[in-house]
Structure 1
């Protein structure tokens, strides 16, 4: 049976892939330099000279490769560069890059699987530990029960982290996509509004909701996950903003066949240099390290957004944070 290559072996395979790319890339740069010189010569020649152009087929291939690389850079590790039948330098570069992308995707999948396996394996012993602590709490001296209650709260917090990690792993695997149905985001946002309005009212916070009434806010998705996504954004806003500050939710239809969801607050916001990092698992801003939370709320949001082939962007609400999610619209169900 063939053994899976370890991390060191994978790394050496990737460096080998880079070496395979080096020679054709050098030739491409040389060709490009010659082409640029030819263009310069043509531009300085009389106006009757014919402009030099790349063959249309080569130009189309370069454009296709560029689009594929843009998709990979945006996080689509399943995208591959197109490989033709010419077996030229472009094809050799594309094949070598695709080989490295296969190895990178395998490594990333292995890391995701490890975190999911750890969370799954620890769930049972943690549940047993909680049961034991409950028994101890019932049997211990009343003066010592606060200690047992604190231990139970810590176990619950750990369990919540592992539940989030397992859920994120399931979402990233794409399994919930089989449950996608047409969903009216306007109706879904009203459901969330009904759930959170009493919470914000009790907390003395204004809650502004602006839902598009055009009836064209349908998306294909998993209703429970979309509700959890919005709930995580609202919980995040409540947790990281001063008491009494408002939270707003807006839903609108965009002209390009997209549905825009925004959740905004009036808190301290997120520094621009940290906005990509907050979607990482267990990542927390320095000022938030002492507050409640798992550090996985926005990671789950990012996973749900990716599952629905959507985009999420953090920006300044002046003051506060604006989270904008753009989902592809679909026909009403």
Structure 2
């Protein structure tokens, strides 16, 4: 409804702009026509120039302008994909290259006979092509007009080769047939004008103006045949003006087609740029997610090994199961694959409590409180104990300060960041002891989580690491994504992540700070 209202609102404005522009075109063409008639009338040109030679020159100029207009029309049709300019160009080429030179320069030497009938026949076919150019038959496509132009040449040649008959003599001596044909040209010009008013299209209307001027000149010649020298140069001069008006209209159409192609190309470039940026971003997100999944699965592998070697009634097994399910919950959140409680409870291998741990979709309520549920605040100590349980037997010591306040961040953040830090310890300081500590930070209102290994420390003797995406130690492996993701997550929740080298004993210390929940 909004687009229809807008179209109805802009329609009158567009028509008003068209009428104003068209009236300007009419005024300019009328002024030019008056000037042409004024300088080419017999009182001005008689006795000053050779009228026969001037008429021949002006005829050739009109033919050249018409041929140029035909070429422009053909190019415009190819650029825009619209068959109408191609049909119009075929009629103009037939007129400019064949009919105009024959009718103005050759036929005056043959006052009677079949050549004049051949020219009139080709004129009729060219008029049919012009009429079809308003709405070309879809079955004939863009080249149908050119096929008809070639057919006109064949028919004209056949008629010209025939012997003269009383009918051809009657056509040659009577101006009636020529006047009818030229009136048809004027009618076609009026049709183009009406088509320009209907669209509204200033270019179509300008083409109609040019054809109308040519039609007027043609009618003038038909009414006074063979007497151009006594009438000055009005007829050939108006014909040049009409062809020039048609050429300017077609050049404007070609310019618009080129501009539209440039706009489409620019839009395509913008679309390709956006698609490239989206692809690059998606590739980066995929790499980050894959990195996190690898780290999470590394912890699950050790936990799964323990679950297969300890008796089922061991309390440690129950804790380990909850830790495994909580880590699976975090990994599934990354994959964004919702699993409903109904689906998991239906599985005989998963009990009701385990199903609640696996349920993380916002549209599904857990059956019982879930230690893996992602909330706006959480107990850091509990989250760290779960992660250490997943890595049981890997020389990890947990030290948490008593009565730590909850932090204002999802539990999945702490799990993800600390998982990345522990994976870095495994990579850069393998088989060394790791201490995970949670305490109140020195700065008020913050909780600090420290992960300290006993490895060689930061590379190249750095005291503190500048965390940059993709920066990593090639000798130790890795992708350089884990620390970048972790630091970004910390910043997004009002915290920080810092890595620095420590001594006594030497190692690397990572400190994650998160704001206390209020």
What TM-score, normalized to structure 1? 0.42
What TM-score, normalized to structure 2? 0.28
Query: Higher relative contact order by CA 8 Å / sep ≥ 6: 1 or 2?
Result: 1
Whose radius of gyration is greater, 1 or 2? Answer: 2
Structure having the higher helix fraction is 2
